[in-house]
Chain A
Amino acid sequence: ETGVTQTPRHLVMGMTNKKSLKCEQHLGHNAMYWYKQSAKKPLELMFVYNFKEQTENNSVPSRFSPECPNSSHLFLHLHTLQPEDSALYLCASSQEGGIAWGELFFGEGSRLTVL
């Protein structure tokens, strides 16, 4: 148990669906992240939120829309995805991010399959 909880653990959606991934951290951290892990590729950083403000967007397509209502919760809204978006989506948190990269605490991930 890392203190970072992701739901759902598994999600299957069609290309026209709208769904959301949720992440919650109970560690009192100020930074939260979304990473994408595809087969045979390095982890890709998608978004960084530091004190609820988005500080990084790594040229992620607009069909992925993040939301960070407070420092403990992070969402990834999904709409009109493509089959190549199928991957393991990992949420992480740390004390702070952007300049001082310390230890990241990861959730167990949400396995997304787009049909």
Chain B
Amino acid sequence: SQQGEEDPQALSIQEGENATMNCSYKTSINNLQWYRQNSGRGLVHLILIRSNEREKHSGRLRVTLDTSKKSSSLLITASRAADTASYFCATDAYSGAGSYQLTFGKGTKLSVIP
């Protein structure tokens, strides 16, 4: 079953604005990751945040994690047309027999208008 779910499904903003995407998940996690995918291409890892961390930064990206609410947000500041892509959160969910699986949501499709 789907562990992570992104919101909104689609987001359209003007270049220079900030973009915020949210991810909610159902069960406890060890870490949460965000990935980006350009149309028809592979996924590219953006950032990993561990369950004992609350906030992490990487360049124009800021990720927060609230384990009490089982949610995370990805903020892209000063967006550029090149940020146009789909963004996915991924969480490690227990799959039984001592192993975990990395489960992805359906993604948020971000369009940045020049």
Contact = CB atoms under 8 A, between A and B. Distances in A.
A45 B37 CA distance: 17
A101 B40 contact: no
Contact of B40 (A55, A102, A104, A111): A111
Interface in B10-58: 30-31, 33, 35, 40-45, 48
B44 A42 contact: no
A6 B43 CA distance: 13
B108 to A, nearest CB: 12
A108 interface: yes
Interface of B: 2, 30-31, 33, 35, 40-45, 48, 88, 90, 92, 95, 98-107
A41 B88 CA distance: 12
Interface of A: 2, 4, 6, 35, 40-43, 45, 48, 55-56, 58, 88, 90, 92, 98-99, 101-109, 111
A106 B105 contact: no
B96 to A, nearest CB: 10
A101 B41 contact: no
Contacts of A103: 33, 45, 48
B104 A90 contact: no
A112 B41 CA distance: 13
A103 B45 CA distance: 7
B43 A90 contact: yes
Contacts of B45: 103-105
19 contacts: A2-B42, A2-B44, A4-B42, A43-B43, A43-B104, A45-B102, A45-B103, A56-B101, A58-B101, A90-B42, A92-B43, A98-B99, A101-B30, A101-B100, A104-B33, A104-B35, A104-B45, A106-B35, A111-B40
